Structure 1
Amino acid sequence: MINTEEFTIRLEKVINFYGESASSFAEKIGVQRSSISHILSGRNKPSLEFVLKILSAYPEVELYWLLNGKGSFPAKKETTPSPPVEAPTKIKQVEDPAPISRAAVNRPEEKIFSENANGKTIERIVVFYSDGTFKNYHN
């Protein structure tokens, strides 16, 4: 069972951490201002829906910390070491590249090879999509 007094203290920590007023916090999580006031005063206990709205609006808040004080706030992100990122090199403009057929682009398993009038070949083509993904085509 949840200890309402301790929950109220943790809720106040969340509100203060984000520099919110009770009113702005209520608006951000989508509840009435009176709901926040009643929970902070101890008049009402938080509902599951209320808790889930907090977690949805503030992903740094851990469920177990908010409910029973176990864990940490803000949530510590588990990081996995990522490979070092190389600084981008200056991209050379290729003059008059040979056209690439649409059929070749639609078959990523096939390598694309093209040579233009200067004897230069295309080594790699990277297509970036609006959702942040990309497709890498290389020789």
Structure 2
Amino acid sequence: MKDRIKQIMENENLTPAQFADRLQINRAVISHILNGRNNPSLDVVVKILNDMNDINPEWLLNGTEPMYKTPRSNTNAVSMPKTPDLFSERTINPIQNTAKLEFAQEKPLKRPVNTEQIKENELIEPSQNSAKKITQIIIYYDDNTFETFIPPLLKN
């Protein structure tokens, strides 16, 4: 079946990465299948048949001819240009434009003016909200133990 999957990719002009992306499966799955490490799972076969409706299931599973359900002519086949991917050996050429790139000059940042002065050692009084009552205090220690304190008026 590995060879038939390779043949599908060749006929559809797909790289292994494009094939995996089209089937929405991990690229490593296709890599392992093509390298002979793993056989295609039922999930992979189902995704191929669902995504590529023209593939003959008998051909994919057993290798019985024809590959496609309907005959294809080479004149109707549209060849898609191959795009670079993680599996290809090609390198992407850098920008071909030889125009001189201009970079912005660094400018020092102006600090925002803080209208409120920081008052050191200022006593901050807690707000007196009589609606809130402390129900318990938990102290955690660095040896992963803890103590719970409950005010005496709340203990039953």
Which structure's CA Rg is the greater one?
A: 2
- Higher relative contact order (CA closer than 8 Å, sequence separation 6+): 2
